[in-house]
């Protein structure tokens, strides 16, 4: 008998893993990753993708004080939401200021020595609430979580105690670690689609 599976993807985490591999992060890659996570003895019920729209707003550059505009371009989230099995949950991206590209700063400092510092808000709480709703609804027997957010460990513990199997994903250069290491029933090793065989 096939096991019903729901995949929860933290977009910030998946994007970081893809960049680490030098991959082009786009809707097709996200969809390919989700389908590659499903095994032959599993039936995909849904993929829930959590991310923020790109920041849009006007700020002052850190050294010159000149105005700088960030232009949003998050139409790809709507495209992802139209894909089969996908639901998209959108948090907020907040501009927190500027960070040095490298430390220590030395010599003449310019705007190019800094990069924007953004903070995602709401993604983690939405994911934890959805995990709780999965337990209550019994829509799946197994959840596959693509995330490195240690704050999800308590929600995973509740899910496990309620009988939902939890699966973490080990990427080639980003294994499950920290608080999440002991939070899963299973750890699934993953190879990027087209780059080797899954273990």
Instruction: Look at the block and give the residue holding tokens 């090793």.
Output: 189
For the domain made up of 3-189, give the CATH fold.
Rossmann fold (3.40.50)
| Cβ-based burial of 35 (10 A; exposed 0-12, middle 13-18, buried ≥19) | middle
Question: Per-residue confidence of the chain (199 residues) as pLDDT tens digits?
Answer: 899 999 999 999 999 999 999 999 999 999 999 999 999 999 999 999 999 888 888 999 999 999 999 887 768 999 999 999 999 999 888 899 999 999 988 889 999 999 999 887 777 788 889 998 988 899 999 999 999 998 899 999 999 999 999 999 999 877 788 788 889 999 999 999 876 544 3
Confidence at residue 195, expressed as pLDDT on a 0 to 100 scale: 60
Confidence at residue 74, expressed as pLDDT on a 0 to 100 scale: 67
Cis before residue 104, ω within 30 degrees of 0?
Answer: yes
Confidence at residue 88, expressed as pLDDT on a 0 to 100 scale: 96
Confidence at residue 97, expressed as pLDDT on a 0 to 100 scale: 92
Quote the pTM value.
0.85
d(CA 98, CA 117): 5
Confidence at residue 22, expressed as pLDDT on a 0 to 100 scale: 93
Nearest to 17 by CA among 155, 191, 198, 142: 191
Confidence at residue 199, expressed as pLDDT on a 0 to 100 scale: 36
């Amino acid at each position: 008998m096939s096991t019903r599976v729901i995949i929860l993807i933290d977009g910030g985490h998946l994007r970081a893993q893809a960049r680490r591999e030098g991959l082009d992060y786009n809707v097709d890659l996200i969809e390919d990753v989700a389908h590659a996570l499903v095994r032959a003895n599993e039936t995909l019920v849904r993929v829930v993708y959590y991310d923020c729209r790109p920041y849009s707003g006007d700020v002052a550059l850190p050294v010159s004080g000149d105005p700088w505009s960030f232009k949003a371009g998050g139409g790809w989230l709507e495209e992802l939401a139209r894909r089969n099995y996908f639901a998209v949950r959108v948090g907020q991206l907040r501009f927190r200021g500027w960070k040095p590209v490298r430390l220590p700063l030395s010599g003449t400092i310019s705007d190019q020595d800094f990069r924007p510092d953004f903070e995602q808000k709401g993604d983690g709480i939405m994911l934890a609430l959805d995990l709780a709703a999965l337990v209550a609804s019994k829509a799946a027997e197994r959840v596959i979580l693509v995330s490195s957010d240690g704050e999800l460990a308590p929600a995973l513990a509740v899910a496990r105690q309620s009988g939902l199997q939890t699966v973490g994903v080990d990427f080639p250069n980003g294994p499950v670690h920290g608080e999440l290491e002991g939070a899963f029933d299973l750890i699934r090793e993953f190879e990027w689609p087209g780059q080797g065989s899954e273990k």
